Homo-oligomer: A and B are copies of this chain.
Amino acid sequence: MPPRKTRQSTTTDESASKSERTRARILDAAAEVLSRKGYAGMRLTDVAQVAEIQAPAIYYYFDSREDLIEEVMWSGIADMRKHMTAVLDDLPDGTEPMDRILVAVETHLRHELEISAYTTASIRNSGQVPENIRKRQVTEENRYGRIWRDLIRSAHAEGAIRTDLDLYITQMLILGALNWAAEWWNPRRGSVEKVVTTTQNFVRSALAP
């Protein structure tokens, strides 16, 4: 298993209050423990230890263990969606649909490997947490999936996708290839750059007519 990096953005942001930074540290720690121990095995004492706080302090930020787990399962994908939306919105008007897809590939991979504990927690616990905890995550996943669906449909409408591909299956193959990287990528084995470049080349030639 590659060492998991945790999300840096909030915890090191100078402008975030101490309270916000502690909350983010608890979430990072919970994502890490949840990906290793699973829903049934995650103990708050382990989370507190990783976050370097006293266990009861968790209740200052989260109402319950379930509440904390719900936030982890939801916030990784919500973060990804917000980030992706901002990046795509910033692209110049008239950017070719295939270029938009390749930007999305890079954005997903870099963000995923940055917050990989959230991605693995979400992959490994997707069928294990109770339905009520998963609800917000499923909603977010669907919203995120729609971004990819629209990217692929737009490219298809402009004739930039091979006609022998089912569009929904293609979307899931790309997302599978991307999500799996959190499970196998090891910074000691090669740079993120190399992963991004090969994945972009792979996806471009897979899709282009």
Q: Which residues of A approach B to under 8 Å, CB–CB? A: 1, 35-41, 120, 123-128, 162, 164-166, 168-170, 172-181, 183-184, 189-190, 194-195, 197-199, 201-203, 205-208
Kindly identify which residue among B120, B124, B125, B179 contacts A176, using a CB–CB cutoff of 8 Å: B179
- 27 inter-chain pairs at a CB distance below 8 angstroms, sorted by A residue, are A1-B127, A36-B128, A38-B128, A39-B41, A40-B40, A40-B41, A41-B41, A123-B123, A124-B125, A124-B126, A124-B127, A124-B128, A164-B201, A166-B190, A166-B194, A166-B197, A166-B198, A169-B194, A169-B199, A173-B177, A173-B180, A176-B177, A176-B180, A176-B181, A176-B183, A202-B206, A205-B206
Within the complex, what minimum Cβ distance (angstroms) separates A113 from chain B?
Answer: 13
In the complex the two chains form, what is the Cα distance from A37 to B179 in whole Å? 21
Known: A40-B41, A126-B124. A181 touches B172 (CB 8 A): yes
Q: A204's closest neighbor in chain B, by CB?
A: B206
Copies in the complex: 2
Q: A127: which B residues are within 8 A, CB to CB?
A: 1, 35-36, 120, 124
Which residues of chain B are near A165, meaning CB under 8 Å? 198, 201-202
Q: What is the CB-to-nearest-CB distance from A194 to chain B, in angstroms, rounded to a whole number?
A: 6
The residue in chain B whose Cβ has the minimal distance to the Cβ of A35 is B127
Alpha-carbon distance A173/B177, docked complex (angstroms): 5
In the complex, which residues of chain B have a beta carbon less than 8 angstroms from the beta carbon of A38? 38-41, 124-125, 128
Say how far A92's CB is from chain B's closest CB, in angstroms.
25
Contact B37 A128 (CB under 8 A): yes
Output the nearest chain B residue to A172 by Cβ-Cβ distance.
B184
How distant is A203 from chain B, measured CB to nearest CB, in Å? 7
Chain B residues closer than 8 Å to A162, beta-carbon distance: 201, 205
What's the nearest-Cβ distance from chain B to residue A207, in Å? 8
Quick one: closest B residue to A4, CB to CB?
B127
Question: Contact at B169–A180, with CB atoms within 8 Å?
Answer: no
A190 contacts B169, CB within 8 Å? yes
